[in-house]
Structures are given as C-alpha cells and as structure tokens.
Amino acid sequence: MDQRLDALVVGAGTAGLAAALALARLGLRVMAIDRRSQGPAFAIGETLAPSVRPLLNRLGLWERFLETGPLPCPGNRSAWSSPDLEYESFLGRPGGQGWHIDRIAFDRLLAHAAAGAGAELLRPWRIGTLGENDRGTWPVELVRGHGNARALVNPRWLVDATGRAAALARRLGSRRRLVDNQIAWATCLALDPIAAGAVDAGTWVEADPGGWWYTARIPGDRLVVARMTDPATNNRSHPPEVRDAPPHTGLRLRHGRGQPLLPWRRWAAGTQRVTPSAGPGWVAVGDAAAAYDPISSHGIASALADALGVADGVSRDDQHIWKAFDRRTADRFERYLHDRAGVYRRVGRYRDRPFWAARSAASSDVPEALP
C-alpha cells in the first residue's frame, strides 16, 4: 500500500466520494476508506436542489449525472402553513429545476468518477491507531474488516466524511453540538408503471400535529415516503402506518402498489454540528461537519460544496486553511439555524404542539442522545 498520501478520506458516502474525486482530479494522491464492505441497498436523501448543478459541473459530472436518468423536480407542494396544498416552483431559482435521484446510483457515479480520477477506494477498512500529527503528516494504522489485515499510511490531510457519527473529528477532540433529536421513519413504495407518469413530479411536504411527512417520486417507478417526528415530544417510537398519513400525503400514497418495498427504517434527521469542524491537518465534510434538517434539502449540496472547498484548500498547501473551513461551516450553520426556525414558525396552526413549539423557538442544544 502506498504510504505517501496527500489525503486520507474516512467514509465513502456522498461527501467522502465527492472529496476523493475533487482531490484526485487535482492530481493529488488520495485514498478513501469505508468501514462497510459495500454501500447500502437503499439510502435516504433523494431531492437535489437546483443549486447542485454548478457543483456537479465543477466536479466534471453534470453530463454523466444526466445519463443516470434523474427525474426533474419542478418544485414543492406543501400543506405547511395551511391545510391547503401550496405550490412553490423552483424555476425562478438559479439552476432552474431540482432533481429526484436514485441515491445509490448517484453515489455509484461518484465512486466510479473518483476511481477513474485515480483515487483508491477501500472497503471494509477503518482507522486503527492514529498518532500525533508529526512534521505535517499523520501516522495512521488502517484495519481491514475484523482485523485480518493492517496497513500504515502517512497522509498530509485527514478528511472526516463519516456522516453524523463524525467519528474522526470526535476522536480528535471535537464535540458534537446536537440542536434537535428529530428522527425520520422512511420507506419506499412501488408505483404502478402505467400510473406512475400521473404522479406529480414535485416533492410533497405536509405537516401533522406530531411532525411532518414528505413524498418524492424517484427513478424506477418508486415513491419515497418519510415521516419526521421527535421521540422526546411524541412517544410513538414505532414506524408509522401508511393509513396514518395526513390527507394529501394519503392521496399520494394510494398510487403505491402493495406493501412497502423495504421495511420502514429509522434515521437520525435532526440538526447537529461538530465544533471545531477542522483543525491543523484535518477537516470534516458533509454531515460529519454539520447535518441539516431534511426540510432544508441541504445535505447533498453541502456535501458537494464541502468537497470542492477541501480540494481548493488542500491544493493551495496553506497550513492554516483549516481555520477558513471551520469558519465557513460555522457561518453556514448559524444562517441555517435562523432560517430553519422561520420555516417551523410558519406552521402556526400547530404552534401549541410540542413538536412545533420546540422547533419554532430560538435553537438551544439538547443533550447528546443519538438514535
């Protein structure tokens, strides 16, 4: 194994793969590792805001992205501030329409592009022992699977792309600031292929007294459905039933055929950030740096933007660039917190319900207790 690395990326989800690609495209020696032997069969996060287009362009992926067959998403329909469905078009926004993607295919595209650009991708590998940063490199022991192989590498930069776990940043002494404990229950329904074309192409969002729902049609005649709630304010910690859906969502779910394609799965869907999110010789990207409420559709665009930012910084060989990373994440997170409270305050019809009251208030941290 080549020990001389410019960057070791830990975690090969969207953020890690995009970082590996962006770094490798600059001719840097980069390795990405993931503790899982293969990617998941289904991943949540399927609406790309129009803002991803310039990011995919900069990654050299726009044309190849279109070839994966994403579905155009012209806007959102939401029963949010009132029980009526209101339409918000994306078309006035820079970049035009958004997209609904098959997330597994999207991450596969990133992985192929990163490997094609020269990045080495290793699964299932994780970090074993991690020494002190010594004269500009990190002595890192990598461990394969349950320990049946080990290797030593000396990267100049460590990139934490381990998602909400922020495993590397926390190992380096950062703290996780958890702003809310929201969870999502999500699954996927098959649509009748003939009827699928009649299913509205937008993302639908609908509030109910104890949380909110969204549905999005994705490639392969499937409909993703997710219900956000909070175990602290709603003692229902078991999956929702399709028949519990509020009226507009319920109508949309009627297009589904038979049982959900996958068992309902619980996901962490709250807001969190690690502080600091970078330090000398290391940086966190994507959800590892800051994870956003799904209402923002922020996660994937932020992961891509972080990846491009890291590549810019690392290629400049500026030892202090990590300060700019941390400041940028902090600023973006504070702006997002302000916007998020405004979005939840708009649901005045449930203002007295604990789920909505907690999210409309100025944010304060809750004790770390991840689902």
Ligand X SMILES: Cc1cc2nc3c(=O)[nH]c(=O)nc-3n(C[C@H](O)[C@H](O)[C@H](O)COP(=O)(O)OP(=O)(O)OC[C@H]3O[C@@H](n4cnc5c(N)ncnc54)[C@H](O)[C@@H]3O)c2cc1C
Give the binding site for ligand X (CB under 6 A): 10-16, 33-36, 44-47, 126, 161-163, 165, 167, 184, 186, 226, 267, 269, 286-288, 294, 297-301, 303
Q: How far apart are CA 180 and CA 213, in angstroms?
A: 17
The residue among 97, 19, 95 whose CA lies nearest residue 57 is 95
Structure tokens at 11: 């975690």
Instruction: Give the residue with the Cβ less far from ligand X, 335 or 351.
Output: 335
The residue among 129, 158, 181, 170 whose CA lies nearest residue 276 is 170
**Rounded to the nearest whole angstrom, what is the least distance from the CB of residue 108 to ligand X in the complex?**
13
Q: How far apart are CA 361 and CA 342, in angstroms?
A: 9
**Rounded to the nearest whole angstrom, what is the least distance from the CB of residue 317 to ligand X in the complex?**
25
The angle formed by the CA atoms of residues 337, 298 and 230, to the nearest 5 degrees, is 60
Query: Which DSSP string corresponds to 149-201?
Result: EEEEEEEEEEEE--GGG-HHHHHTT-EEEE----EEEEEEEEEPHHHHTTS-S
**Rounded to the nearest whole angstrom, what is the least distance from the CB of residue 115 to ligand X in the complex?**
16
Instruction: Give the residue with the Cβ less far from ligand X, 46 or 194.
Output: 46
Q: How far apart are CA 345 and CA 357, in angstroms?
A: 8
Which positions ≥6 away from 88 have C-beta within 8 Å?
75, 76, 77, 78
**Rounded to the nearest whole angstrom, what is the least distance from the CB of residue 35 to ligand X in the complex?**
4
Cβ 146 vs Cβ 126: under 8 Å: no
Instruction: Give the residue with the Cβ less far from ligand X, 362 or 369.
Output: 369
**Rounded to the nearest whole angstrom, what is the least distance from the CB of residue 123 to ligand X in the complex?**
9
Instruction: Give the residue with the Cβ less far from ligand X, 13 or 240.
Output: 13
Instruction: Give the residue with the Cβ less far from ligand X, 16 or 313.
Output: 16
Instruction: Give the residue with the Cβ less far from ligand X, 192 or 368.
Output: 368
Residues making up the chain, counted from first to last: 371
Instruction: Give the residue with the Cβ less far from ligand X, 84 or 273.
Output: 273
Among positive and negative, which fits the CA dihedral 33, 37, 41, 43? negative
Q: Is 342 helix (H, G, I), strand (E, B) or coil?
A: helix
**Rounded to the nearest whole angstrom, what is the least distance from the CB of residue 168 to ligand X in the complex?**
7
**Rounded to the nearest whole angstrom, what is the least distance from the CB of residue 243 to ligand X in the complex?**
21
